[in-house]
Each structure stands twice: as structure tokens, then as C-alpha cells.
Amino acid sequence: MIMFGFQNCFMFIILCFLSFLCYYLFVKKPSSSRSGFDDLPPSPPSLPIIGHLHLLLSAPTHKALQKLSSKYGPLFHLLIFNIPMVIVSSASVAYEIFRAHDANISSRGPPPIDDSLFAGSTSFISSPYGDHWKFMKKVLVTKLLGPQALERSRDVRADELERVYARLLDKARKEESVEIIKEVVNLTNNSICRMIMGKSCSEENGEAERARSVASESLALGKKIVLGSLLRARFKHLVMLLIKKEMTVVSNKFDELFERILVEHETKQDGHQETDLMEALLAAYGDDKAGYKITRKHIKTLFADLLFAGTDSSAQAAQWAMAEIIKNPNVLKRLREEIDCLVGQGTRLIHETDLPNLPYLQAVVKEVLRLHPPGTVFGRISQKGFRMGEYYIPEETSFAINVYAIMRDPDLWEDPDEFKPERFLQDSSRTAEEEEAERREPLKYIPFGSGRRGCPGSNLAYVFLGTAVGMMVQGFDWRIEGGDKVSMEETVLGLSLTMAHPPKFIPVARTARPLISKCSKPKDSCVDFDLPPSSPSLPIIGHLHLLLSSLTHRSLQKLSSKYGSLLYLRIFSSPIVLVSSASVAYEIFRAHDVNISSRGFPPTEASLFAGSFSFISAPYGEYMKFMKKVLVTNLLGPQALKRSRRVRADELDRFYDNLFEKAVKKETVEIFEEVLKLVNDSICKLIMGRCCPEEEDVVERVKGLAIELDVSSKKILLANLLPPWLKKLVLSLFKKEVKAISNSFDELLEKILAEHEEKQGENHQGKDLMDVLLAAYGEYKITRNHIKSFYVDLLFAGVTNSALPIQWTLAEIINSTNSLERLRVELDSVVGTTRLIQETDLPNLPYLQAVVKEGLRLHPPEPMFERFSQEGCRVGGFYVPEKTSIMVNAYAVMRDPNYWADPDEFKPERFLVAWQEEERREQALKYISFGSGRRGCPGENLAHIFIGTAVGVMVQGFEWRFKEEKVKMEEAVAGLSLTMAHPLKCTPVARTLNPLTSRGSF
């Protein structure tokens, strides 16, 4: 009896202890939490003790939460034991959270295990939002994931894509089945390993396989770690103890792998590093004065995070993509047609530089990520309490954003569960209001998260997914093993959304011969590698004599009529490809625009013109994009042109008054001189703002320097086409000439800049272009020479490119009495005979617009323009090697008889035809008076305004008399510009007794 009583007493004590423990762990609220509030978001019924934990353990969690949101609303809360969690399931709520509370929810709570390389205290992924996280993200974006870094590592990914293609081709020959996810994991893992660790981690030495194995183990632990992180600190430690052994094993494997690679890397250092990321991290590790001091463990942990986050997400999406594409034959057909049309069928392998020109492939990728996001739910933690509408969110509340539910929200997506890539294609029939509404739709597409903690590697993921899917569609047909249908049933592995029944496909090669890589080319020479045809050349100098002819554009046009519209020329040993037809120009700018968006190296480093500071000769990159943005925003864009309309109207009045005065005196006018003054004075005032010199001699000096530059430009262009050893020699011959012009500009612009800086403190309405550039002088790290060079470029390009076409167009009008009469009738009808034409009239003068376009078609300001291929590519069935100068003969393209009826005749009526949308796009690439593509002239709209208003004034206000029966239209080339061999001189006769008045609305 005593023993029995003792046992009962002991059991009672144990029961009390366990009850107290359960209360302490599961029920008791944290002392710091806010109690007593009744305005939490709604919540579904919960179970005793565990709360809603069973919902997070259900498979799949995202669908269970999506179902709950349909009943309890887009914002509801759960309890995991006694720990609060808020679930967000709509785009509008997500938008409000990230718009108003992004900084507050930019952390992910304390790390689950402090000393682990994976999800530990040194982890970038689980790091709180602070100095460490910001430093690491900056390094990642700058050295690995930003646009320039991705461009530098492009060859690595192309090499790995080619490896995967070769493996699939081998399996196709053996008729073996393929697991898509394994092949794409090889692609992403090997690429990331080489991008972050260089040659130290490759397939050959086995390190890539070891990294892949450890990354797979870490993925399996992902969901356990996330669930453990959601628990209270006291219980989390208990749960983490259960998986600590697994985490330690994975962490030790990562540590061993990365330590070996770091040691090997350090021992091989010889003044440079193999990768930008490794270089930056080791530099920060060894620098005691670095902005943020990192340890060796930080470096290893970052590598572990990159492998964990980067390897699986793209591979899972690629598997989903191929399943959706094979399941939808219409999508497969359309996608394959697009790739074959752009890349070519049976020629070369798709490359990531093709992606911007493959809109349907991009749409397919986006639609796959919408339906099957890599992570279906992502978490955040609130640092402070805040209100969301009528609800209160307490501090230290976990947030779960249900990405899966948001991107299948039927209120935002039509047929949300259907695979329809077309939804991501730009609809040309949409109104401006519909496009604006589309832009304002908040956060409905967030496959990689959003806000400060959104995935910084989303661009890389798009590249991996686009090239992998593109390669598999381009290179192979696919049969399902066993002939079954593809099952789209979902499951969650770790944190990733994957297929419950991954299909096995058998690849069937579409071509007898393997596709070659875009970058593949002969190692020793480009000769006999399927190059475009070439005309006979001279010994040593090659085809240099053709470029030295007085009318180069015509001699090359004649050559192309004999040897073809795509010609391969040679200047000494430097290759040049000549384009002379609209169809070839269309293909180049449609398919290879990014590749040819640079102009080679600057000819003269120290010069303000065509030097290393020049906007015109700058490579296609961040500097060019920044300066172009400044230019469009502050000078050449629609809003900027509207703001500066008064300046041009005043100069147009002066132009008219000067002609009227000459008409009264019956003096002969040299048209080019008059319009040159109009354009030069206008541009000076537009770009120099309030500090534009008022003295006539200073403005005249600017005009004179611009003309001198135009004369020197052809020499500089020709020198730039020569081999480097010869280019230096040739440039030295007229270095003094270029330097004198550069120094004159430097002296003039320095005075204007200094004067502008002195006046910056004064009160002025708005900012002019110089204000913006001087602000960027400290912000974007552009130098004073960048600003001066930018102004030289604008004066050079703007003055002659508008003045010359005005002279040509007036000459064509005078020679065509019918055109002159029709244009004058239109002007008198729309503008009247009392006031002067203004640029606001131009949209209502279609025939004047057609006259301007036809004048530019026949007489483009620059008959030829140059580009430079960064990589080898195929055009019109021929191979164009990398680092090849591409000369586009705009003169020949716009007189191509295959595209233009009566190409040498002045017929403005051809531009009055209403074009269909597809025809309009083709029209845009056969009408290239100001170039085309990314490097097309950004001042085209301004040039059309200058030409339209100047021609309008001369036709509206005057009759024109000249000695000859007809104007002589012989051509000459001054510098790079197409001008008249016999400049137009005629006498104006005013059509009205009294001068016309200016009544433009401003």
C-alpha cells in the first residue's frame, strides 16, 4: 500500500511537471507580445495546443492555405502553438504590405542554428536586414548577378549549355530516356559553381559533382528548418536538436569543399582572380579597413546559400516548362517557329543574347513561373506592430506570402489555372488607358518574391530557364517514355514545388548534324568558315580603296548589286561586313541588335570627340544607358521637347525674319547657311540653357567647330576600321588637327560650365540639361570631360544631321512642282496665310510629314553607319565572326528596289499609305535614315521637327527663284555627311506683303 501510494504520488508529480512544461512551451504568450487586442485578422478554428500547425504540415501547404483564404479572406492569421502567423493571399494586400511596411518586414527572424554554414548566423539568406545583408547583396549584384556581371560570365553559361546539349544529343542517338530535372540541375549547378568559384570547381575535377550532392542534401532539409524557425524560441531549440546532426553533416561537407577551393584559389593568385565574386570577397576578407568586415565563414556560407537557392529553383521550373510545352502542342509549334526564324534551323544553338528577341519564349517562361513558382510561399517577420486596414499585426509576427495563390487569383488573371503564354505578350491593340492600368496592377506577378528581400538572382534564373527550354525545344523532339500522358500533379520537396510524377522523355534530334554554339569559330582563322561572299581585293590593303572613293555609299551599292546584299570585305587584316538590303538589315536589327550595339574601341583616347569620354563611341553599357536616359528625359523626349518649344519657335521666327528681309532686298540666299544657323542657334540654346552665349561670334564659333568636326569624322571612322598597329600610325597623322578642335571646344565649354556653376545658386524655373549633368558629376561618377564630350557629340550630331536634309528636301520640292503645289495647299488650308507655321501644326500636316520622310529616305544625313559585333553570329545563312565591323549602307537600304517602288524617284505619297502593324514594323527597318536599334539616333524626333518647320516656313512664306531650269542634285560627301555638290542658292520672294506672325500655343 505504501509502495502503491508512493507510485501514485510520483506519477502525479510527473504529470504536473509535464502540464507545466506544455503550458510554458505551447500556451503561455511571450512577455513582450501585445495582449488584449481584438483586431487581429480573421482566423480558422484551431486544434488544442498545436493551433494550426496541422495546416502547415499538410501536403501541399500552399493549396491548403489557398483554400482557407477563399473562406476567410486574403488576410487571415494562424497560431503555431501560441506563435502568431499572418497569411497573405492576394496581390492588393501584398502590395499594401510591401509599399508601406517593406523595411519592417525585411528580416526573417533569428537563424535556426548559429554555428551552421547552412541557415546559420553567417548566412546571407537568413541574415537580418542590416549592414551585413546590404554589403553582401551589393557584392552579389555588382560581381555576380547584375547586368554587367552576367555579361562577363556569359561564356561560362554558354559552355555549360553546350555540354547539356551534347549529353542530350548522345542520349538521343542511343534512344535513352532523360530526366529533365537532372540535366538542368547539371547546367545550373555547374554554371553557378564556375561563376562563383572559377576553374577550381568544374566537372572535370569532380568538385562540381560534390557541390551538387551537398546542395541536394541541403534542399531536403529546407522545409524542416523553415518549420522549426516558425516555433517559439524555447521549442525551436528542441526541434532543431532533432535535425542538428543532419545539418552538421551538411555544414561540414560544405565547409570541407569550400575550404579546399579557397586554399587552392589563394595559392594560385598571381595578381588577378578567376572570378569577380571571389576577388571581391577575398579582398574584403583581407582588408581591415573594409566597409564591412567579413570572415572566412561568411564567404563559405554565401557560397552555400548560392548553391542552395540557385541550383534547384531553375531546374524545377525547366521541368515544369517542358511538361507544359509538350502537353500543349500549339505552344510548342509557335515557340519552335519563333526560335527557328530567329536563330536558324539546323545552324547554331540558341544563346542568351537571343532571349531579348524571342518574345514568345519569354512569355512561356513567365507563364511557367506564374503557374509553378519555385517557392510557393515565402516568409518574413515583422519587427514592429502595425495596422493593415482595420486589422492590427503584432510585432514579431511571421508573415507567409502565398505566391501560388496570388498568381492564380481569378480576380487578376483570366483562366488562372490554364497555361496561356499569350497573356504576357504585348497587345498592340490595347489602349493607353489599358496599358496604364496594367502597369498599376500591384504585385500580381511575384515568382521570386518582392521588396528588399526579393530574390537578387531572378535575372540569372530567367537566363537559365530561357536558354535551357529554348535549347530543348530547338534541338529535339520529345517522346514520353511508355507513351503515357504527362501528369501535372504537384508535390513539395523541401521548399520547392515539384512534380509528383516526374515524366521521363526520350529526345529525338531534329538535325542530322549537331548545332554549333553561337560563339564557336575557327581557332586559327575565319577564312572558309561560311563567310559572306567577297569581291576581289588588292594585295595587303584588301578593299581599302573602296572606302577611299569620294562617294563610298554609291560604289558599295554598285558592288552589292553584283556580289550580294551581304558582303565580306577586308581592310588589311581587319574584317568588315557590308549590309546593303532592307531584308538583311531587318534580320540583323531584329535578331542581333544587342550583339552589335557597340562601335568598337574609341579611336582617340584623350580627345573630346570620339574619345574615351564620348557618348557616341561609348560601348553599349551602363554609361551609355545612363547618358541616353538623361538625354531623352531632359532634351529629346516628348515632355522635354514640349518644354523647349518656345526656344525653337523664337529661332524659327528669326529664321523667317531673316529670309523676309533678304526677299525685300532681293538678295540671293544660300539655303544651307541659313538653315545651319537656325539649327545651330536652337541646339546651343537647348543644350546650354540659361548660360548659352548671347554673343553672335561665340555661337558662330560653335557652328564653325561643328563643321570642322564633320570634315574630320570620315578620317576618324576610316582609321577606326584599321588594324590596331596601323590605326595608331594613321591617327598620328591628323592628331594635331583633332586635338586643335578638341582644345577649342574644351576652352569654350569650360567657360560655359564655370558660368553655369556660378549661377546655380540663383533662382530659376526648372532644371536644364547642364544642371542634371552637373548633379550627376558627383552622383554617377561622370567627369567634367564626360560632360564636355557629351556636348561636343550633341553639337556634332545635331547641327549637320538636321541642316543638310533641309537643303536636300527643299531642292526636291522645287524640282517637283506637283509636290510643291500640293504641300502649299495643305499648309494654307491648315495654317492659313496670316500666321507662321509652328511645330504644333505638324501632326495635322500629313503631306508635309511625308515630304520630310521622303527627303530623308533619298538623302539620309549619314549614308552609312557602323556597328561592331561582340560575338560571332549567323546572318542570312552566313557566319559573321566576333569583333567584326558591320557597315550598314543606309543609302542602299532605302533605295532597295525590292522594297521601294521607283526607289530613285521623289514620291512623298508612298508614306501616306496606311500600313498594317506587321508591315509597319518591317517598314521601320527598311526606313533607317537615323540608324536603327538600340544605337539608333535618339534625336530623330527633334530632327523631324527642325526639318518639318523649316521646310514648312520656306514653302508657306516664299516663292523661290533660281537661275537654272532645275536644281542640280549631284551628291558629295563632306566628312560622314551626304551633302550637295552644288549648294542650293536661290532668291526668296515673299508670298505676302506683310510678314507672317507667330501665334503658336506654348
DSSP state of 396: T
User: 54 falls in which pLDDT band (50, 70, 90)?
Assistant: confident
Task: Report how far Cα 743 is from the mean position of its chain's Cα atoms.
Answer: 36
Provide the phi-psi class of 530: left if phi over 0, else alpha when psi is between -120 and 50, else beta: left
Q: Record the cell numbers describing residue 137, joined without a space.
A: 547583396
| Per-residue pLDDT tens digits for 200-258 | 555 555 666 677 666 666 666 665 666 565 555 555 566 666 667 777 777 788 788 88
- Number of helices and strands in the chain (H, E): 34, 23
pLDDT per residue over 173-194, tens digit each? 999 999 998 899 889 888 888 8
This model's pTM is above 0.85: no
Residue 270 binned pLDDT confidence (cut-offs 50, 70, 90): very low
Give the C-alpha separation, 991 to 882, whole Å: 58
Instruction: Order across the sheet with 566-571: list the strands.
Output: 566-571, 574-579, 885-889, 864-868
Lowest-pLDDT range of 10-24, 399-413, 842-856: 10-24
User: Which of 62-71, 666-675, 770-779 has the least mean pLDDT?
Assistant: 770-779
Q: How far is CA 814 from CA 93, 428, 856, 985, in A?
A: 65, 39, 16, 12
Q: Above 60 in pLDDT, residue 435?
A: no
Q: Alpha-carbon distance 317 to 499, whole Å?
A: 10
Of 82-86, 127-131, 949-953, which has the strongest mean pLDDT? 949-953
- Is 436's pLDDT higher than 60? no
HEC string of 591-642 equals HCCCCCCECCCCCCCCCCCCCCCCCCCCCCCHHHHHHHHHHHHHHHCHHHHH
Q: What is the rounded CA–CA span in Å between residue 47 and residue 635?
A: 65
Phi, psi for residue 873 in degrees, rounded to 5: -155, 165
What average pLDDT does range 270-277 have in this prediction? Answer: 52
Closest CA to 507 of 854, 44, 164: 164
Residue 458, H or E segment = helix 458-475
Of 754, 247, 871, which Cα lies nearest the Cα of 516?
A: 871
- What is the reported pLDDT for 493? 67
Mean of all residue pLDDT scores within the chain: 80
pLDDT at site 6: 44
855 vs 102: which has the higher pLDDT: 855
Q: Using pLDDT thresholds of 50, 70 and 90, give the confidence band for residue 273.
A: very low
Give the whole-number percent of the chain exceeding pLDDT 70.
77
Residues 6+ apart with CB under 8 A from 921: none
591 vs 811 pLDDT, higher one: 811
Residue, of 924 and 371, whose pLDDT is higher:
371
C-alpha cell at 527: 577564312
C-alpha cell at 872: 560571332
Provide the 3-class DSSP secondary structure of residue 669.
strand
Element (H, E) at 498: strand 496-499
Question: What is the reported pLDDT for 860?
Answer: 93
Q: Read off φ and ψ for residue 435, nearest 5 degrees.
A: -65, -40
- Residue 24: pLDDT above 50? no
- Asked whether the predicted pLDDT for residue 737 surpasses 90, the reply is no
pLDDT band at 4 (very low <50, low <70, confident <90, very high): very low
Cell 487571415 appears where?
A: 76
Q: Are 858 and 851 in contact (CB under 8 A)?
A: no
Higher pLDDT, 842 or 617: 842
Q: In which band, very low, low, confident or very high, does the pLDDT at 916 lie, cut at 50, 70 and 90?
A: very low
- DSSP class of residue 546 equals H
Q: Which residues pair with 570 in a beta bridge?
A: 575
Higher pLDDT, residue 658 or 347? 658
Contact between 168 and 515 (Cβ < 8 Å) = no
Task: Give the pairing of strands 398-402 and 83-88.
Answer: parallel
Would you call 354 exposed, middle or buried from its count of C-beta atoms within 10 A (0-12, 13-18, 19+)? Answer: buried
Give the burial string for 937-972 (b: 16+ CB within 10 Å, else e).
bbbeebbbbbbbbbbbbbbbbbebeeeeeebebebe
Give DSSP secondary structure letters for 87-154. EE-SHHHHHHHHHHSTTTT-B--S-S-TT-SSSSTT-SSS--TTHHHHHHHHHHIIIIISHHHHHHTH
Q: Which residue has the higher pLDDT, 846 or 261?
A: 846
What count of other Cβ atoms lies within 10 Å of the Cβ of residue 923? 16
Instruction: Give the residue among 94, 131, 279, 105 at the shortest CA–CA distance from 196.
Output: 279
Grid cell, residue 1002, equals: 506654348
Report yes or no: 281 and 290 within 8 Å, Cβ to Cβ.
no
CA distances from 306 to 192, 251, 907 (A): 8, 14, 61
Question: How would residue 809 be classed by pLDDT, with cut points 50, 70 and 90?
Answer: very high
Binned at pLDDT 50, 70 and 90, residue 32 comes out as very low
CB atoms within 10 A of CB 553: 22
- Cα atoms found within 13 Å of the Cα of residue 266, Cβ hemisphere only: 12
> Of residues 12 and 974, which shows the higher confidence score?
974
User: What are the two backbone dihedrals, phi and then psi, of residue 61, each rounded to the nearest 5 degrees?
Assistant: -60, -45
CA distance 79 to 82: 6
What is residue 742's predicted lDDT score, i.e. its pLDDT?
80
Read off the amino acid at residue 571: I
Q: What CA–CA distances, in Å, run from 379 to 109, 168, 456?
A: 10, 37, 16
d(CA 173, CA 514): 11
Give the pLDDT score at 207: 62
| 985: β partners | 670
Strongest mean pLDDT among 117-121, 251-255, 508-512: 508-512
Residue 461 DSSP SS3? helix
